[in-house]
Structure 1
């Protein structure tokens, strides 16, 4: 099946698009956390080590920039790409910069308000398209990249 502007694939008729995406997103998230941690540590000397005094905020900003930039470019973070998962908008197309910003803002808010990230994770396992909280609000979904090709 090819992706067109008609929308996201039907999870009942085309379940291969959504198969195991919740697990893949979890593993992708772990890989991205490792990458963001390394990037934050590498960037710390460029702040003349002042970021040490506000490292959680610095880490959050680096993570936001990392996610927004990569989702804008590839509609996926590097972790998602390694796990063969891509984010798609409600029309079935890749996320543009604005939607990537909103998706990243939703993810960052969920990280800052801990119950939201738990709720988002539970939603990924409990919805037919494996959508988290940000996905439901924005009409996006993570799908298997191999199913697109």
Structure 2
């Protein structure tokens, strides 16, 4: 399978930037809840290292969801999925690297802005981490 061409089949990329933003919001709330639960399970010791705990939960959540389903819960709600540019589903290594790069991009405001710009201007709607890995998000095809 190869990915649909954005010029010939734009419906696969329609509203993907908006769906990515909404998926990010849903996933951030879910990760926050999971991190708060982790604080309780650590008898509140996790509160002292909450940013590190939040990052670890975020990377773990994204890695597991992307490796298993090709999408996080937020992405599933938005009807988008992660694919390699050659059409392959993400493997566990790609999911882990994607998750770490995503966390790195989110750490700095400048890279966040640059990633948003690349999502808006690239034909495959790729963020910085997508460009580095050769992946993209597209509307979930009917056969998947």
Relative to the length of structure 1, the TM-score reads 0.92
Q: Tell me the number of residue pairs that the alignment of Structure 1 and Structure 2 aligns.
A: 144
Gaps of 5+ in 1: none
Give the deviation of 1:148 after TM superposition: 5.0
Q: Does 1:105 align with 2:100?
A: yes
Q: Which residue of 2 aligns with 1:13?
A: 8
List structure 1 segments (4+ residues) > 3 angstroms apart after TM superposition.
Answer: 146-149
Gaps of 5+ in 2: none
Q: Secondary structure at the match of 2:20?
A: helix
**2 CA distance for matches of 1:24 and 1:50?**
35
Q: Does 1:134 align with 2:113?
A: no
- Which residue, out of 25, 33, 38, partners 2:28? 33
Partners of 1:16 and 1:147 within 8 A in 2: no
- Which residue, out of 41, 45, 48, partners 2:43? 48
Q: Does 1:61 align with 2:20?
A: no
Q: Deviations over 1:87-113 (max 9, x none)?
A: 001220210101111111110110112
Q: Deviations over 1:61-92 (max 9, x none)?
A: 11110111101111111000000000001220
Relative to the length of structure 2, the TM-score reads 0.95
